[in-house]
Amino acid sequence: MTPEIVDSHCHLDFPDFEGERDAIVARAVAAGVTRMVTICTRLRQAPAVQAIAETYPGVFFAAGTHPMSAADEPMATVDALVALARHPKFVGIGETGLDYHYTPDSKAVQQQSLRVHIEAARRTGLPLIIHARDADDDMAQILTEEYRGGAYSCVMHCFSSSAALAETALGLGFYLSMSGIAAFPKSSELRAIFAAAPLDRILVETDSPYLAPPPHRGRRNEPAYTAHTAKVGAEVFGISYEAFARATSANFDRLFAKAAAFARAA
């Protein structure tokens, strides 16, 4: 039997998948990817993302304001995020975070939005889903400062930042998520960061339709390709694919406890 694994972060609502979602979800399940979290990056699009989660038994959803959109969208509110969390398949807050690579001019707004999402994660008990790019120092500072003000859980989605930020996140009890970037041939330094992390803090994701791992690099990514990144992850940790799939699925269940509880009750 194909080992079961989880795609902890994808974007099934994106136009890249229009008209093909049934086939894409079917291919994922055939590859052992029996659960997926589809992420809403603009809160006004939450109803469409929710509808996708409601259509497929193994699909859950999360919502937030992506940092690159923070200056263009209405500021998220804690109340709005808490209201979304009442849905039985809503399992995470975000993605949110900081991106100074493409949108450095909106630093202040991004930081304000991030703090709103952190408070929503505290109030709901759901994990925060963080996007971080070229903002390591501010990210480490805000995550640490906010954690001191009240604990919350978190995953550093598509982690490709510095060893220092990984150390900060792990020190706070957070998780690191491995995307197709970790499978790229030139990503040896990133693989070393993952190898130094505890196996029980690792998740796997596609971030599809982006960042397809080899042998699909340069083409549209999809949840079925989680398996390719997971095979590299197994090599990084020196264990079998089956053991890596089992470990990362258990990690997902621990962090995304609401999704695990839903699956058990189904």
Give the domain ranges of the chain: 5-265
Strand order in the sheet with 33-40: 5-10, 33-40, 59-63, 90-99, 128-133, 154-156, 175-178, 202-204
Token code pair at residue 129:
């889903």
Region 80-94: mean pLDDT is: 98
Whether 129 has a pLDDT exceeding 80, the answer reads yes
3-state secondary structure of 131: strand
Whether 266 has a pLDDT exceeding 80, the answer reads no
The pLDDT of residue 134: 97
Q: Which amino acid does the sequence have at 41?
A: T
Give residue-wise pLDDT tens across range 11-35.
Answer: 999 999 999 999 999 999 999 999 9
247 contacts 200 by C-beta, under 8 angstroms: yes
Q: Comparing C-alpha atoms, which of 73, 117, 76 is closest to residue 95? A: 117
Look up tokens 């982006």; give the residue: 210
d(CA 43, CA 24): 24
Region 222-238: mean pLDDT is: 98
Q: Is 0.95 topped by the overall pTM?
A: yes
84 contacts 49 by C-beta, under 8 angstroms: no
Written out in words, the top-level CATH class of the domain with range 5-265 is alpha beta
The pLDDT of residue 144: 98
d(CA 245, CA 227): 9
Token code pair at residue 211:
């960042």
Give residue-wise pLDDT tens across range 49-78.
Answer: 999 999 999 999 999 999 999 999 999 999
Q: Which amino acid does the sequence have at 68?
A: M
Quick one: what percent of the chain has pLDDT higher than 90?
98
195 contacts 163 by C-beta, under 8 angstroms: no
Quick one: 28 exposed, middle or buried, by C-beta within 10 A (0-12, 13-18, 19+)? buried
